[in-house]
Structure 1
Amino acid sequence: MKQLNGGGAGLDAERGRFPYCVVWTPIPVLTWLFPIIGHMGICTSTGVIRDFAGPYFVSEDNMAFGKPVKYWKLDPSKVYSSSPNAWDTAVHDASEEYKHRMHNLCCDNCHSHVALALNLMRYDNSSSWNMVKLCFFSLLYGKYVSVGGFVKTWLPFVLFLGVILTVVLTLHLR
């Protein structure tokens, strides 16, 4: 069993368990062109992944675009709620809400689902979580599950840039 180190108690990439984490995986073609854009989910206290995978559907432990390649470990002590089990309640309530929503790639999507969960639990005493903030924080604080996850995210983009550079140089040097 591969346990992830670096303060990741309970993280188990082989079993796909990421307690108290936001997880991320690439979206084919879209991530190849823009490597910071991908599919996001949020995990329960036991590491079960919940992600808004499409219209009126929130999956459990079966992310829409494959296993997570990146995770951002959050601190459950930063949940500002007096209710017991506030983390799991917020993840559940956000998931129930998104089971009644149409998916929109640009403005009501998987990032919005995660933002709602964090807003409901008032993570870091904030109720202003949104897609942009999550994208930025995930980029800044996220860790790759493995070298393979890094390669899966960045290699297509690097190859794409290589092709463009080759074409531009070939046409320019004629």
Structure 2
Amino acid sequence: MLVRPNESDLDEFRRGIDPLASSGKLGALLAQFPASFKDSPQSRDYVNGLLRAFGGYRVAVELRHKSWSDNIGGTLQLLNAFDAAWVQIDEPKFRFSIRQNYLPNVEGFYYMRLHGRNAKNWWKHDKSEDRYDYLYSSEELREFSETADAARRLVKKLYLYTNNHFS
């Protein structure tokens, strides 16, 4: 069941980030959803409400379930209506994992997250951070560098993050 933040919670959060935003030091807000968050009318309504609540900020939305990429037109319509970036993610691919092309969907900014490819420990692990125990090879990083370079030419700002629990 999705729990929606109330206006008081949203106002408190905005008060916390507004000093960063007003000083030009806030990059983008990340709305990260788990693989269990599937495309549905209820989920779309939730994302719509979240994007509406943070309309004055850059928002990047990380969706992991394949149902969102199966309905790529509807997903892009939802995100683009708010100039929200569809977070491009690298993680192990399972049958229900989202499929992405690593292209930006809005001109304002691009957002990519590298979670590692530790498929063996992704779902079965002692600690949740064990799934991120992965060291990208130089060749893998070169591919992401090329992707970032291509995206940089299409957007005003680029964000690329790696999970570094084990660095």
Taking structure 1 as the reference length, the TM-score comes to 0.24
Q: Which has the higher contact order (CA 8 A, sep 6+)?
A: 1
